[in-house]
Amino acid sequence: MKSYTTDQIKNLVIVGNSGSGKTTLAEAMLLEGGVIERRGDVESKNTVSDFKEIEQNNTCSVFSALLYTEYNDHKLNFLDTPGLDDFVGGVVSSLPVTDAALMVINAQNGVEVGAEIHGRYLAKASKPIIFAVNHLDHEKANWEKTIESIKERFGTHSVVVQFPVNPGAGFDSIIDVVTMKMYKYPAGGGKPQILDIPADQLDQATEYHTQLIERAAESDEKLMEQFFANDTLTPEELQKGIKGGLIQRGLFPIFCVSAKRNMGTGRLLEFITQVAPSPNEVPAPKAGPKEVKCDKSGVPCLFIFKTSMETHIGEINYFKVMSGQITEGIDLVNNTTQNKERIAQIFNVAGKNRTKGSSMVAGDLGATVKLKGTKINHTLSTDTSLKFDPIVFPEPKYRTAIRPLSEGDEEKLGEALQRMHYEDPTIRIEYSKELKQIIISGQGEYHLNIMKWHMDNIFKIGIEFLPPRIPYRETITKVAQADYRHKKQSGGAGQFGEVHMIIEPFREGDTKPTMYKIDGKEYKMSVRDTEEIELAWGGKLIYYNCIVGGSIDARFMPAILKGIMEKIEEGPLTGSYARDIKVCVYDGKMHPVDSNEISFRLAGRNAFSMAFKKANPKILEPIYLVEVLVPSDRMGDVMSDLQGRRAIVQGMESEMGFQKITAKVPLAEMNKYSTALSSLTGGRAIYSMRFLEYEQVPGNIQEELLKAYEAEQKEE
């Protein structure tokens, strides 16, 4: 293929609801540009972007796919992304390397949940949007309602650039209000006749044309002056205004297509080459404090935005040339791992098809293979100071425990999970020593079921999902005293150690203890030494040495602490970690021959356990801050469901035409919430959650947890 300069490159992400026709439109665009000779379709499982077995089986995109086409002396790179929220990672990873979005809307249904969700991500990333209204050839196509829904969800910035003459089963004509021409297509699609606008459509076209000129003029003061002076804009001024408005997100043009019959595709591509921003026309990204301009003469620099594994090839890294020029054989440094990497091969990618190239300039998207330790989010450059911020993926919404059906597969499972994480970073893996489980988290139940399919069919590892345990914590609520004597005699040297201790709850700002009164008895404390331990699982342990008169030798104090820590790591109530406790060791006894470290470790461990149980212990549960964006008409159902999950609502407000509910919810009540929320709202609500704090569980739930733990211990 020919070489392109930065200003001849356009990078777009294709977004929209599942079933809107994104992949089919991508096929039509590649056919129009001559990159493929025959158009595939989703039903026949032969599209270039949905080439993985799981995508063909499910007839929907699961991963993002890099594509390109050539049109009007431009190279257009597209990232075709999944429409389901469970696979939103493909959208999120595409945004940092693209400069505009092509949002596909199904004319049968208008703006659907996927488009709404993607619209929020695009707004957050300040990406321009071009709408392509698809399926206009379907008998249930409804142009008016579709436009109404676009304006309702995306505002009056959404401007009609094309409208269909005859939407429905006989659809074959589009009126373009930029060129003020009608495009009439043959039955099989393809190259249209370009005709004058029929008289009965002229008033409508003129009205849309005027609206477009007004919106375009608003993007630039000089254009506004021209508009006021002449009451119109020249074609060149109109194009400049549309481009400016698009980049500023002040104008979202709406186009008409039938992707399946390849109608409207060529004119859409023409518009993109004329108006969509090139990589050097958008704000330059930063690598740390440095601004990196998208310039061929700059320092050679790549950013890896996607890592994929493919059979017979291995690992493929997809990159954007952030600056400079990349040539085959160039040596770069991975500024994350500090390893040297040689770019041995460069590929232009059209889904499953890869065309070898010799070089790429700033702004282009491509792929390479056989890098040693390079993964998604890594920066490669000749300048070792350049390092782009990593892509931030959404927090998980669904968690489950996983285990192999065969114990011998544990190591293989670990390696497979790591590979899945690199390919889809929204899959998180945690090997929890505390819960004695492997916890995997994702964006929804379907998301993790797709992961399970990969384990069964690609990695050949049998697995099962289990309910994830909750990382409870244990603490105390009052002062308690206990003492314990460990004595063992079995011939020869024995074991002896006696420890007296008082424990109390730790609170920030507490002072050193001087005296306790327990059951009418006073205990005076003289603190000789203090250890403050920040616990890895949160909270603190404060350990006071209050021994006077040498009743316990100083060399045994660390052993007592070790015994206490053993019990803190396996709380006396449910085996969960304990936290926020002060321990005063104030007395004890030792034997000149039989006392040793193990004796005092066991004495300390048992004394602590006894005191803990006397100190009105409580179980703490993790509380998450949950934010739900819900349509107003489903607000009551969602609120009722949250209240049934012991939620405490913190607030409600409007956001982007939705109601946002903020609530504190126990993690134990969030199991399968994504599935329940989707069912309650027809898939239109989304939510996020993040850890907030630990709080005491209600008394009735504590009783249930204690009984469950007791039964579990008996079974073991």
Handedness of CA 255, 260, 265, 268 (dihedral sign): positive
Q: What Cα–Cα distance (Å) separates residue 177 from each residue in 162, 181, 238, 256, 267?
A: 6, 7, 11, 12, 12
Q: Concatenated DSSP letters for 264-290? A: SHHHHHHHHHHHSPPGGGSPPPEETTE
Handedness of CA 255, 261, 263, 265 (dihedral sign): positive
* CATH number listed for the domain at residues 286-375: 2.40.30.10
**Start and end residues for every CATH 3.30.70.240 domain found in the chain:** 619-701
pLDDT digits (tens, 9 = 90+) for 353-393: 999 999 999 999 999 999 988 999 999 999 999 999 999 99
Assigned architecture for domain 474-616: 2-Layer Sandwich (3.30)
**Confidence check: pLDDT of 714 > 80:** no
Residue with more model confidence, 507 or 493: 507
Contact 50, 42 (CB under 8 A): yes
CATH 3.30.420.130 for the 398-469 domain, yes or no:
no
Mean pLDDT of 4-22: 95
Q: How many other β-carbons are positioned within 10 Å of the β-carbon of residue 334?
A: 22
Question: Would strands 473-475 and 577-578 be described as parallel, antiparallel, or unpaired?
Answer: parallel
Helix (H) or strand (E) holding 308: strand 301-310
* Calpha distance 568→565 (Å, rounded): 5
**Confidence check: pLDDT of 634 > 70:** yes
**Start and end residues for every CATH 3.40.50.300 domain found in the chain:** 8-281
Residue among 462, 438, 436, 681 at smallest CA distance from 577:
436
Contact 140, 108 (CB under 8 A): yes
**Start and end residues for every CATH 3.30.70.870 domain found in the chain:** 398-469
Q: How many other β-carbons are positioned within 10 Å of the β-carbon of residue 263?
A: 27
Backbone angles phi and psi of 249, in degrees to 5: 60, 30
Q: What is the SS3 assignment for 289-305?
A: CEECCCCCCCCCEEEEE
Contact 82, 16 (CB under 8 A): no
Mean pLDDT of 251-265: 95
**Confidence check: pLDDT of 350 > 90:** yes
pLDDT digits (tens, 9 = 90+) for 150-199: 998 899 899 999 999 999 999 999 999 999 999 999 988 889 999 999 99
* Calpha distance 235→478 (Å, rounded): 80
pLDDT digits (tens, 9 = 90+) for 589-617: 999 889 999 999 999 999 999 999 999 99
Average pLDDT value over all residues in the chain: 93
**Confidence check: pLDDT of 497 > 90:** yes
pLDDT digits (tens, 9 = 90+) for 527-577: 999 999 999 999 999 999 999 888 999 999 999 999 999 999 988 888 899
* CATH number listed for the domain at residues 619-701: 3.30.70.240
Report CA dihedral (562, 566, 569, 571) to the nearest 10 degrees: -130
Contact 105, 21 (CB under 8 A): no
pLDDT of residue 716: 61
pLDDT digits (tens, 9 = 90+) for 271-318: 999 999 999 999 999 998 889 999 999 999 999 999 998 877 889 999
pLDDT digits (tens, 9 = 90+) for 443-493: 989 999 999 999 999 999 999 999 999 999 999 999 999 999 999 887 667
Q: Is 178 helix (H, G, I), strand (E, B) or coil?
A: coil
pLDDT digits (tens, 9 = 90+) for 44-93: 888 998 888 888 888 889 999 999 999 999 999 999 999 998 999 999 99
pLDDT of residue 657: 67
Please state, for a pLDDT cut of 70, what percent of the chain lies above it: 99
Question: Would strands 581-589 and 540-545 be described as parallel, antiparallel, or unpaired?
Answer: parallel
Please state, for a pLDDT cut of 90, what percent of the chain lies above it: 78
pLDDT of residue 313: 81
Contact 531, 610 (CB under 8 A): no
**Confidence check: pLDDT of 656 > 70:** no
* Calpha distance 347→367 (Å, rounded): 5
Q: What Cα–Cα distance (Å) separates residue 233 from each residue in 37, 157, 207, 238, 275?
A: 40, 19, 15, 6, 16
**Start and end residues for every CATH 3.30.230.10 domain found in the chain:** 474-616
* Calpha distance 122→246 (Å, rounded): 13
Q: Concatenated DSSP letters for 590-633? A: --TTT--HHHHHHHHHHHHHHHHHHS--EEEEEEEEEEEEE-GG
pLDDT of residue 631: 85
* Calpha distance 260→251 (Å, rounded): 27
**Confidence check: pLDDT of 101 > 90:** yes
Fold of 8-281: Rossmann fold (3.40.50)
Q: What is the SS3 assignment for 642-668?
A: HHCCCCEEEEEEEECCEEEEEEEEEHH
* Calpha distance 12→25 (Å, rounded): 13
**Confidence check: pLDDT of 235 > 90:** no
Mean pLDDT of 11-18: 96
